[in-house]
Amino acid sequence: MELEIPAENVQKAAEKVARDIARLARIPGFRPGKAPVTLVRRRFADDIQGEVVQALVPEYLEKTLFEKKLVPVARPEVDKVEYKEGEPLRFRAVFEVLPEFELGDYKNLQVQVDEIVVGDAQVDQALEEMRERAATYVPAEGRAAQDGDFALLTLTGTPVGGGEPVKADNILCHLGAEETIASFTENLRGAMPGETRRFRTVYPEDYPDKKLAGKSYDYSVEVQGIKEKKLPELNDEFAKDTAGAQGGVATLDELRRKVRESMEAAREQRQKAQARDKILEQLVKQHEFPVPEALVEMQMDVRLERLARSLAAQGIDPRGAGVDWVALRRNQRDRAVTDVKAELLLDRIATAEKIEASDEDLEKEIAAAAEGSGESATALRARLTKQGALDRMKSKLRSDKTLEWLYRTSRIETTASRES
């Protein structure tokens, strides 16, 4: 938008700023506040111009946007400011607005979801995973390391061609495992505790740790110990230990029944989540419209922040995780565009169907979030208010209610079963 602020408005604003400066300015030869305004305007011309622009441009822009019923999705960028005394103040505002599009058919959608089977095989698999989590690592006495063992290592790696060496203590290396570099398995197989092995490792170009990818290291590795994994027996004792004091489980059959009930409850939620994803996917495919770049950028930031919080929750410093954040952000773009489209569609459908998130809905959400964080609902509400996050929370609730409405009004078909 190319805008002009009338010259008389600019003149009045400049005179007011000049009078304000004159009251405070110290000018040689004049007592404070007694210098002529004409002298002040010449001496402080740049300061006056800057204050006039800062005062008038946002005010005039906001008024114009309101009159034209335009809602920027992000703060407008102002450039090409032209300020000449006695003339209108001219400037350009560049901003994005929400796209105009016609809503297609969103009622009675039809989507297919995979059937999730919960049978004996799936329950057995869940119990095996419990055994894996309860495994212990015991010393392998009187023998050399073999595939399947866990070797406790102290190592030093020197980059071929020079560079900063890599040093680590108490590293547990799973010999023969898929995630273990082949050279470690090959060179540590047959080693005894106390033995030192020396070998070269060439890391592939696509190795997850970018500091090592494509590089070669000469390693000196001392085997401190050899451990083997012991799984607990699948019996009543295991069932009681796994369930814990409050589990109400005394036998393996009771644990098996409890696992099945939990998996069946989770199945419903997983199938519902799958259906909701398919509904959004179908809606996005049915509607073709441009999305504001500002919203896409914000969504990419949200996705990366979510990943960083997930790493931090696992005790991993996101800054030292070896993640190429720039490339990862770039790879998030297509997904971010889809997310923004889906959100805009949900907003339009909510308006069309008069779906709103009530204050009661908001209070329930705050209470649930407070319970999960251990914070009082009052303190959480105060913090969210200070952060300006209540409106975002209410908007999210509105979108969730709209998606739930779409789920209820859609036809959900289940396809042939697959493994859980």
Secondary structure, 3-state, 212-249: CCCCEEEEEEEEEEEEEEECCCCCHHHHHHHHCCCCCC
Alpha carbon distance 348, 339 (integer Å): 14
Concatenate the DSSP letters of all residues of 374-397 into one string: T--HHHHHHHHHHHT-HHHHHHHH
Q: Is the pLDDT of residue 43 over 80?
A: no
Quickly tell me which residue has 């889906």 as its tokens.
342
Enter the tokens of residue 194. Answer: 């106390």
Total Cβ atoms within 10 A of residue 45:
13
Alpha carbon distance 420, 412 (integer Å): 19
β-bridge pairing 2-5 and 89-94: antiparallel
Quickly tell me which residue has 């519902």 as its tokens.
272
Concatenate the DSSP letters of all residues of 7-59 into one string: HHHHHHHHHHHHHHHHHH---TTS-TT-S-HHHHHHHTHHHHHHHHHHHHHHH
Q: With contact defined as beta carbons under 8 Å apart, do 116 and 215 qualify?
A: no
**How far out from the chain centre does Cα 175 lie?**
34
Quickly tell me which residue has 């997983």 as its tokens.
270
pLDDT at 419: 46
* 73 closest CA partner among 101, 100, 102, 95: 95
Mean per-residue pLDDT, 358-387? 86
Quickly tell me which residue has 């914070």 as its tokens.
375
Mean per-residue pLDDT, 366-386? 85
Alpha carbon distance 80, 351 (integer Å): 38
pLDDT tens, position by position, 104-115: 889 888 999 888
* 135 closest CA partner among 228, 225, 11: 228
pTM of the entire predicted model = 0.63
Alpha carbon distance 152, 170 (integer Å): 6
pLDDT at 400: 92
Q: With contact defined as beta carbons under 8 Å apart, do 91 and 80 qualify?
A: yes
Alpha carbon distance 119, 408 (integer Å): 28
Total Cβ atoms within 10 A of residue 145:
26
Domains in the chain, CATH or no CATH each: 2-94 (3.30.70.1050), 136-230 (3.10.50.40), 260-418 (1.10.3120.10)
Q: Could you give the maximum distance between any two Cα atoms of the chain, in Å?
A: 99
Adjacent-strand bridge partners of 4 = 90
Lowest mean pLDDT among 40-49, 78-87, 122-131: 40-49
pLDDT tens, position by position, 139-169: 988 899 999 999 999 999 999 988 889 899 9
Helix segments in 44-119, DSSP class H: 45-67
pLDDT tens, position by position, 229-286: 899 999 988 888 887 755 678 889 989 999 998 998 888 888 899 999 999 999 999 9
CA–CA–CA angle 216, 220, 221 (5° rounding): 115
Alpha carbon distance 307, 311 (integer Å): 6
β-bridge pairing 110-116 and 150-159: unpaired
